[in-house]
């Protein structure tokens, strides 16, 4: 220790030692175990993501251009309620608290919660989705934009079953996109909870609940694959306009849509 008198340091240590021995007790392994990991880790997140181009290549390629993920920069979600559901209007993905905990059985638990008593607003937009190869190029999707609210999200990795369980509450206020190669367009797509009533809207019924499990399982050829089981999905869906050749052919609605007993296996070929 540069600048500290060694004699003075020795006198300080000698004087503190009896007090330390009187006031502090050695912790055994059991006591240490009760202290370690009690609090977990909390992350407060604020971000905005932009990607010029994402490319997935097999023999041909899928290119997704002009990807943007952030806040919706608006406070008029589900205007029929007459409420500000997401707090301030910004173009950043914010108002997010991520709690990370390890349970006593070894499970990892990640909870996504709002910082304040508001939903998390999210805007995702992209440019053209192009399929390219030696035969040319086709735009399969374009002008995609989605404004959504997220109420909560939970990821749990279960050590007993080797499964990842994912749960979320989500509501889509507005989603638009075009499918150019089919001359098809979708406008004003909304997704809410199955019990949400436009005539008597209630905030607690706004969100659609989604739960799924992810794990490994053998396919028909006994090759380990990514298995996804959709446990719960119930929602109402409304589409304000369906365009064919640029002309609206009307609107659509799905009341009390429920998807159950759905499993899939994903693997290479």
pLDDT digits (tens, 9 = 90+) for 95-120: 999 999 999 999 999 999 898 889 99
End-to-end CA distance of the chain: 64
Residue 14 pLDDT greater than 50, yes or no? no
CA 84 to chain centre: 21
Tell which wins on pLDDT, 260 or 11: 260
Number of neighbours of residue 136 by Cβ within 10 angstroms: 7
Residue 50, token pair as written in the block: 């932009």
pLDDT digits (tens, 9 = 90+) for 124-157: 999 999 999 998 999 999 999 999 999 999 999 9
| β-strands 120-126, 49-57 pairing | unpaired
Contact 168, 153 (CB under 8 A): yes
Distance separating alpha carbons of residues 146 and 171, to the nearest angstrom: 11
SS3 91: coil
Q: Where are the domains of the chain?
A: 45-266
Ramachandran area for residue 168 (φ above 0: left; ψ -120 to 50: alpha; else beta): beta
pLDDT digits (tens, 9 = 90+) for 202-260: 998 999 999 999 999 999 999 999 999 999 899 999 999 999 999 999 999 999 999 98
């Amino acid at each position: 220790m540069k600048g500290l008198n060694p004699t003075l340091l020795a006198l300080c240590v000698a004087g503190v030692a009896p007090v330390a021995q009187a006031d502090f007790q050695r912790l055994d392994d059991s006591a240490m175990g009760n202290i370690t990991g009690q609090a977990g880790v909390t992350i407060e997140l604020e971000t905005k993501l932009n990607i010029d181009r994402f490319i997935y290549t097999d023999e041909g390629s899928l290119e997704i251009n002009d990807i943007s993920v952030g806040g919706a920069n608006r406070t008029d979600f589900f205007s029929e309620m007459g409420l500000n559901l997401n707090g301030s209007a910004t173009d950043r993905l914010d108002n997010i608290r991520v709690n990370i905990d390890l349970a006593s059985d070894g499970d990892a638990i990640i909870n996504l919660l709002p910082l304040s008593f508001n939903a998390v607003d999210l805007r995702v937009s992209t440019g053209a989705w192009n399929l390219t190869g030696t035969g040319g190029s086709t735009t399969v999707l374009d002008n995609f934009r989605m404004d959504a609210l997220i109420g909560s999200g939970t990821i749990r990795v279960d050590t007993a079953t080797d499964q990842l369980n994912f749960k979320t509450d989500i509501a889509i206020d507005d989603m638009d996109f075009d499918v150019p190669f089919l001359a098809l367009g979708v406008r004003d797509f909304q997704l809410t909870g199955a019990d949400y009533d436009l005539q008597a809207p209630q905030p607690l019924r706004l969100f659609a609940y989604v739960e799924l499990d992810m794990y490994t399982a053998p396919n028909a050829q006994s090759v380990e694959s990514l298995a996804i089981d959709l446990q719960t999905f119930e929602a109402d869906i409304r589409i304000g306009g369906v365009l064919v050749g640029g002309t609206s052919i009307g609107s659509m609605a799905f009341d009390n849509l429920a998807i159950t007993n759905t499993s899939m296996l994903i693997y290479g070929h």
